[in-house]
Amino acid sequence: MVCLDCNEKKIAFFYPSYQLGGAELLYCRVADYLTKLNGWSAFIIDYEGGFLAKYACKNNIEIIVYNDGEKVSAKDIDVLIAPPSFIYRVCRSVELKSECKIIFWSIHPHNIESLLPFFIKIESHPRWYKKLIYKMFSGGEYFKIKSNLKFINDLKAICYMDRPNISENERLFDLKLDGSFVPVPVPVPVPVPVDVNVLGGVVCKKELLCDSYGITIMWLGRVEGFKINSIILIYKEILAAAKAGNKISFVVVGDGGDLDLLKEKVVTTPMVKVEYMGEVVGDELEYLLISQCDILIAMGTSALEGAKLGVKTLLVDVFLGFVPDMYNFKWLYETEEYSLGRILYRDDNSLLEIGCSLSSIIAGDGWGDVSVKCKDYVNRNHTIPLSAELLLKAYDNGLLTYSVLVDNVGPCWLIRFKSFIRGLV
């Protein structure tokens, strides 16, 4: 790397991936913003041809090429940003100067837990059961990760996108965590007049929607894994609302490995018309939401993508291993501590709280200023400049350096032994 301005601080984002996902897009957006910020140079550490690398090429962000099994040199970097699940990978895969600061940014409640053995097989089981399995059969890794998490927490080296990211780990590891919040951002559009009659491809898709169905409710997001139960819940709530005489269109915007499974469960009825539109992105997605959507129901950044446009947006949680019989929704602006959806288990007692059923929302006397409030919430809490500012504040307050990380953090003996054996094969 060539130092164009030796007074500039250099920040690198480490999350190599060939796939488009929320975390990858998040890192790219913040890196792009910091590249244009005086006093900072941003770098992306990614595979050659990876998603982040492609984004970096298009946006003039410098790339540091990474290859699995090799240790990439990035000794000019002043601060490295990575997900906490990369805590071991940073030590073994990136060579940094000893005083380089490390900040872990948690943007999924199970990001840290995913390091544990058996995680994929028991993810949807109750917390007490998972904790028991981890303690008894992880070869000490549960206690090592707990120790590592407390260590980086005490050094103010971890920040979280929202409260569920903190509370989920507090409950799993029996810790009190005090990490700071760095909410996930979305680019806020510049207001422009929209003529929905000249939207090209969107107009074609508009013809799929039956005009006799007075209310259009949309799901936006991936159609796979833990999100399937949430989509099924929305459909059940729509069916209940339709019993009051409301004809409703339910439009599923998104793709994924469980799409065929969902199509078997979520089907058109005399009162509910179901449309599957596949993946829609960019300007086409924005026009679709503006011109077609009465209510968006989503989680994570998908909820923000609609609300930033002034679309009335309800949040929905993740339901692991079950679909609740009853559920109350919240408008996005009613959420607390940046939460964009919780992970709930069957034994959680927080399913019914402040909020309203979808039937009562639809039957209400108009939705007043919900659109304005949703958009205002995004503008106040989830813009790229705000998240970048909070991330740099975390850097200022953080006390964890690369040398301290390498000297103090590592997996338990069983994980080290397995890695050694894999290296011999």
Give the tens place of pLDDT for each residue, 241-251: 999 888 999 99
pLDDT at 406: 93
**Phi-psi label, residue 278: left if phi above 0, alpha if psi -120 to 50, beta otherwise:** left
Q: How far is CA 424 from CA 188, 202, 266, 309, in A?
A: 50, 54, 49, 54
Q: How confident is the model at residue 363 (pLDDT cuts 50, 70, 90)?
A: confident
What are the tens digits of pLDDT across the range 77-107? Answer: 999 999 999 999 999 999 999 999 999 999 9
User: What is the dihedral angle through the alpha carbons of 397, 400, 403, 407, rounded to the nearest 10 degrees?
Assistant: 160
Domain segments of the chain as ranges: 9-185+387-424, 196-381
Contact between 329 and 355 under an 8 Å Cβ cutoff? The reply is: yes
What average pLDDT does this structure show over 314-334? 92
Which class in CATH covers the domain with range 196-381? alpha beta
Beta bridge partners of 298: 315
> For residues 39 and 20, what is the distance between their CA atoms, to the nearest angstrom?
29
Structure tokens at 227: 């999100």
Which class in CATH covers the domain with range 9-185+387-424? alpha beta
* CA neighbor of 176 nearest in space, from 137, 142, 136, 149: 149
Instruction: Please check whether the two domains, 9-185+387-424 and 196-381, share a CATH topology.
Output: yes
Percent of the chain with pLDDT over 90: 62
* CA neighbor of 194 nearest in space, from 305, 281, 285, 303: 285
> For residues 390 and 216, what is the distance between their CA atoms, to the nearest angstrom?
37
* CA neighbor of 102 nearest in space, from 21, 11, 18: 11
Contact between 305 and 220 under an 8 Å Cβ cutoff? The reply is: yes
> For residues 126 and 235, what is the distance between their CA atoms, to the nearest angstrom?
25
pLDDT at residue 206 above 70?
no
What are the tens digits of pLDDT across the range 291-323? Answer: 999 999 999 999 999 999 999 999 999 999 899
**Phi-psi label, residue 409: left if phi above 0, alpha if psi -120 to 50, beta otherwise:** beta
- Number of H helices and E strands in the chain, helices first, is 17, 17
Mean pLDDT of the chain: 86
Contact between 19 and 50 under an 8 Å Cβ cutoff? The reply is: no
Whether the model pTM is above 0.75: yes
